[in-house]
């Protein structure tokens, strides 16, 4: 009896271990529930959230999130966006980027035993399978295959370690100082992390590549393994089911929980939404929808450059002969402003009417003045909060007077006096 109990206990422990192992590494392979729930979720959220002018009613489940405007790189919403967190299969955004930039996608490769034995979400590769790098990429980004990730890493760099080095080198090039990779698939490890902010920046970079954009924007695709077709469905539940969504990647591990990076464009506004650490797929979906709807309902693009141009021209008209250039050969200074990084930026609709262009510039300046010397500042604010600032620059050169210049001034001065007496 004791032996039977012991056997049953061992079987139960093994079962729990296996279940835990699978759930730890499983990705989002079944979208059916989410796809069916999207329309219901959207209708409910639209009724509650789209009229909101603030962020306090969003009630997000996500541990860390961000909405980033792709045009200006301005953060439109953030929650713990600079915290280091695990990223699960959103890692594959970098994996695909490295492969696309360094490999011949039409090359056919053979799958190694190591790749075929990789756990978690799988494309279903077997040792010795023949498949193109392009099809591996589709298996990586649509099916979220960890086996595809390892196969690609080995083809590109020879090993997971060397491929991770390439990933980290790229992260450094992009200025992602709080991101570090230890694998091409994103299975949990202490040294594998990012932030919502940096993941959004990485996604923005990756989406600029047409091949990457095409892959992550594909809902269904048929690849070929050993000459046999295999149909894939994208794990991104919002792609094709939510207005404006055109990519990019899902993710899940026990350490990272449910993750989703979404690219969405409506009219001219193009955003990236990142949610990391949601408790369930439903929360991941609903949080993404909330953030996207909040953004498009509350922000619109404003041409700040046009506002600056108008205000600066008005200032010039109202301040003729404004400058006195001490010891300068003249005071006829022409001004301009430095080029704006983002002339068009998203502004909260409630703040647009409060936009002010403030011009700060001294009237008395010291000579000499050279072209592009900084002589003042323009600051654009809304409700007394800074939106952006730029420098006021000199457009021409004002030389400092020398000995001959002073003599000429002296001669002109007394010539004018003599002329005035002659008139009398």
Q: So what's the architecture of 319-403 in CATH?
A: Sandwich (2.60)
pLDDT at residue 8, rounded to an integer = 38
pLDDT tens digits for range 97-148: 999 999 999 999 999 999 999 999 999 999 999 999 999 999 999 999 999 9
pLDDT tens digits for range 231-285: 999 999 999 999 999 999 999 999 999 999 999 999 999 999 999 999 999 999 9
Average of per-residue pLDDT across 11-38: 44
Q: In the structure, what pLDDT confidence band is assigned to residue 411 with cuts at 50, 70 and 90?
A: low
Q: In the structure, what pLDDT confidence band is assigned to residue 413 with cuts at 50, 70 and 90?
A: low
Is the pLDDT at 22 greater than 50? The verdict is no
- Tell me whether the CATH fold assigned to 18-299 matches the one assigned to 319-403: no
Q: In the structure, what pLDDT confidence band is assigned to residue 400 with cuts at 50, 70 and 90?
A: confident
pLDDT tens digits for range 171-208: 999 999 999 999 999 999 999 999 999 999 999 999 99
Is the pLDDT at 26 greater than 80? The verdict is no
pLDDT tens digits for range 343-374: 999 999 999 999 999 999 999 999 999 999 99
The CATH class given to the 18-299 domain equals: alpha beta
Where in the chain are the domains?
Answer: 18-299, 319-403
In this prediction the pTM is 0.84
**Is the preceding peptide bond at 117 cis, omega within 30 degrees of 0?**
no
Catalytic positions, written as ranges = 89, 92, 144
Is the pLDDT at 163 greater than 60? The verdict is yes
Is the pLDDT at 18 greater than 50? The verdict is no
């Amino acid at each position: 009896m004791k032996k039977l109990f012991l056997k049953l206990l061992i079987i139960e422990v093994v079962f729990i271990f296996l279940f835990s192992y699978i759930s730890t590494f499983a990705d989002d392979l079944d979208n059916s529930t989410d796809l069916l729930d999207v329309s219901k979720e959207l209708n409910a959220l639209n009724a509650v959230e789209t009229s909101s002018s603030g962020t306090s009613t969003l009630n997000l489940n996500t541990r860390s999130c961000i909405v980033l405007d792709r045009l200006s790189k301005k953060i439109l919403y953030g929650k713990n966006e600079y915290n280091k967190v695990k990223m699960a299969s959103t890692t594959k955004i970098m994996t695909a980027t490295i492969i696309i930039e360094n490999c011949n996608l039409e090359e056919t490769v053979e799958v190694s035993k190591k790749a075929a034995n990789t756990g978690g979400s799988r494309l279903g590769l077997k040792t010795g399978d023949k498949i193109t790098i392009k099809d591996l990429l589709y298996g990586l980004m649509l099916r979220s295959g960890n086996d595809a990730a390892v196969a690609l890493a080995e083809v590109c760099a020879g090993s997971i370690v060397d491929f991770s080095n390439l990933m980290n080198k790229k992260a450094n090039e992009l200025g992602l100082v709080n991101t570090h990779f230890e694998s091409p698939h994103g299975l949990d490890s202490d040294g594998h992390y990012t932030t919502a902010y940096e993941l959004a920046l990485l996604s923005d970079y990756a989406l600029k590549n047409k091949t990457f954009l095409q892959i992550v924007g594909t809902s269904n695709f048929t690849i070929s393994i050993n000459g046999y077709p295999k149909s894939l469905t994208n794990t991104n539940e919002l792609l094709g089911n939510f207005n404006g969504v055109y990519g990019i990647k899902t993710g899940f591990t026990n350490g990272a929980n449910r993750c989703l990076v979404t690219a969405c464009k409506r009219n001219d506004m193009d955003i990236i939404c990142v949610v990391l650490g949601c408790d369930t797929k439903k929360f991941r979906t609903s949080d993404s929808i909330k953030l996207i709807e909040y953004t498009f309902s509350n922000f619109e693009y404003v041409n700040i450059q046009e506002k600056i141009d108008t205000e600066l021209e008005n200032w010039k008209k109202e301040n003729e002969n404004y400058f006195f250039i001490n010891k300068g050969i003249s005071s006829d200074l022409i001004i301009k402003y430095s080029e704006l990084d983002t002339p068009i930026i998203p502004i909260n609709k409630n703040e647009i009417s409060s936009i002010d262009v403030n011009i700060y510039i001294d009237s008395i300046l010291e000579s000499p003045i050279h072209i592009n010397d900084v002589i003042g500042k323009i600051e654009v604010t809304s409700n007394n909060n800074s939106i952006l600032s730029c420098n006021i620059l000199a457009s021409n050169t004002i030389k400092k007077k020398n000995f001959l210049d002073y003599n000429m001034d002296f001669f002109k001065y007394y010539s004018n006096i003599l002329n005035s007496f002659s008139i009398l």
